[in-house]
Amino acid sequence: MRSYTEWDPLEEVIVGIVDGACFPGWHLALPPVLPADQHETFRRMAGRPFPPELVAAAAAELDEFAHILESEGVVVRRPEPIAQGRPYRTLDWTSTGMYAAMPRDALLVVGEQIIECPMAWRSRYYESLAYRPLLKEYFRGGAGWAAAPKPELTDEQFDQDWVESDPVRLVVTEFEPTFDAADFVRCGRDIFVQRSNVTNDFGIEWLRRHLGEDYRVHVVEFADAHPMHIDATLVPLAPGKLLINADRVPEVPRQFRDWDVRAAPEPVIPSSHPLYLTSKWINMNLLVLDEQRVVVERQDEPMIAAVKEFGFTPVLCDFRNFNSFGGSFHCATLDVRRSGALESYF
C-alpha cells in the first residue's frame, strides 16, 4: 500500500457502499453544513433510512463506477455493510450511524500508512468498522495502520452558542482533536488542509506531529461560509494543474501561484434534484486516475469540456443519484495504492 498524491497512476482503490444508509441523528454539528432547505428533513428523518429507491439507484451507480475503474486497470475493494440504523451509545450520548459511502472522509492514506480519523459527527463514530477487514489485510501486507485519538464528542466539543448568522464561526471547538480526511489534499511532501466544521486546529496539529518531518502540512483559508471538506474547493489534478472553486478561492494559496490555475465551470445539477448533504459544487469532486485520465459525471457537459481543455481525457460515469448522499467520485473512493515516490512539487 502506498499513495502520496492525488494524481499518481491509480492501482488500487476502495469504493464505498450505501447499504443501509440512514439519515444521521440530529445534532448541533449538522446545521452548519447542511443546505438550509434540508434542515427540517434531517430533523424529521433522524435515524431513519434514506428513501430506498434512491439508495438502490446510488448503489447501482457505485457498482457501475467500480466496473469502470476495473476496466481502466484499477483493483477495486469494497467495505463490509454494518448496521447503520442500530442505536449505539457512549458514556455521554446515544446515536445511530449513517453510511459507509465515503471512505475519503473516514480514512487518510499518507505514503505507506492508513490513518483512522477522529470524526466530529456522532453518527460517524463507528464508521471505520466497515473498513476493518480491509485495514487488517493491509496491515498484514506491511502497511502502517494508526488511529487518531478517539474523541469523546461530548457537548464541550461543540460551540453551544453557534448561530448561522455568524459566517466565520465554526461549530467544533478545540476540546479534543477532530478531523475528516476529506479536509486534506496530498501533493507529495506538501499536504494542504482547511479548518472546517469537522476539522479543528487540534486535529491538524496531531496529524502534523504524527507524520513528522517528511511532510509539510499547510493550513489554507477560503471564503466558504459552510466549510466541510476541501475537495470541492481546491482540486490538484496533476503537477502544475489546479482546479478551484472561484466562489470560494478569491486568492490562490501562494504555493500554487506558479501553477496553471483554472476555475471550475458552474455546476449544472438541476435544482429539482435532491442534494441532502452538499451543494451543487460537488461537480468538482473528481477522481484522477493518472496525469491523463479523470473520472467525470456523465451528464456534466461543462465539466467534461473543461477537463478536455485542461489536457485530460474524461472517463464518464453516471453518478448524480450518488451525489444526493453528499459526495462524488473523490469522496466515494480511497486510493490505497498509486505508483510513484515521495516528491516535492513546490
Q: Are 183 and 119 in contact (CB under 8 A)?
A: no
Active site residue 331: yes
pLDDT tens per residue across span 38-55 = 999 999 999 999 999 999
pLDDT tens per residue across span 79-90 = 999 999 999 999
Is the four-CA dihedral 129, 134, 138, 141 of positive or negative sign?
A: positive
Q: Are 223 and 260 in contact (CB under 8 A)?
A: no
User: For 152-306, where are the E strands, in sequence order?
Assistant: 184-187, 190-193, 216-219, 234-238, 241-244, 260-263, 287-288, 293-297
Is residue 91 very low, low, confident or very high in pLDDT (cuts 50, 70, 90)? Answer: very high
Active site residue 180: yes
Rounded distance between C-alpha atoms, residue 123 and residue 121, angstroms: 5
CA distances, 192 to each of 185, 254, 256 (Å): 5, 12, 11
Instruction: Determine which one of 229, 231, 290, 330 is catalytic.
Output: 229
- Cβ burial of 53 (10 Å; 0-12, 13-18, 19+) is exposed
Instruction: Determine which one of 22, 117, 317, 331 is catalytic.
Output: 331
Other Cβ atoms within 10 Å of 90 Cβ, number: 13
- Which residue is listed with cell 506531529? 209
Instruction: Determine which one of 8, 19, 159, 180 is catalytic.
Output: 180
Is residue 167 very low, low, confident or very high in pLDDT (cuts 50, 70, 90)? Answer: low
First to last CA, the chain: 25
Global confidence as pTM: 0.96
Is residue 36 very low, low, confident or very high in pLDDT (cuts 50, 70, 90)? Answer: confident
Active site residue 27: no
